[in-house]
Amino acid sequence: MRDAGRLFPCPTLRRVTTIADQDEARRVAFGRLYLAAAFAALEPETRAHIHRWSRDLWMTAADTRPSRPGGMALIRARLHRGYLRARWRDHERTLADLGLFGAGAGAR
């Protein structure tokens, strides 16, 4: 949603969108600080369990079939699945940076 305010011609809507963007940025920053500290306090087995659970949950959502079958629905589902799998790789890098797993896990 970053910079989405520029898309709206209405000054009030632009302002509300800007405020929402700022609020979301604060939430993300807080979440990163919190998770880094929380992950550091966990045992390696617990961190591994959280990583597997998160990945499995994400992939289950990515592999869910559309509720209305049909040619276009299947094409959209395949594109959606590829997009979600690619996005998981981004999220996984962030989780590694925060210490959920990998070389820096628990070192914070």
The reported pLDDT for the residue numbered 108 is: 44
The reported pLDDT for the residue numbered 71 is: 61
Residues 79, 105: one domain? yes
Domain that holds residue 96: 43-108
Question: For residue 57, what are its two tokens?
Answer: 């949950």
Residues 51, 21: one domain? no
Residues 7, 25: one domain? yes
Residues 24, 60: one domain? no
Residues 65, 30: one domain? no
Per residue of the chain (108 residues), give pLDDT as tens. Answer: 556 656 778 889 888 888 999 999 999 999 999 999 999 999 999 999 999 999 999 888 887 766 666 666 666 667 788 888 889 999 999 999 999 988 656 554
Angle, CA of 56, 57 and 59, to the nearest 5°: 65
Q: Which of 68, 66, 94 is nearest to 79 (CA)?
A: 66
Alpha-carbon dihedral angle through residues 77, 78, 81, 86, given to the nearest 10 degrees: -140
The reported pLDDT for the residue numbered 44 is: 94
Residues 19, 47: one domain? no
Rounded to an integer, what distance in angstroms lies between the CA atom of residue 26 and that of residue 50?
24
> How many domains in the chain?
2
Q: Which of 95, 96, 72, 92 is nearest to 84 (CA)?
A: 92
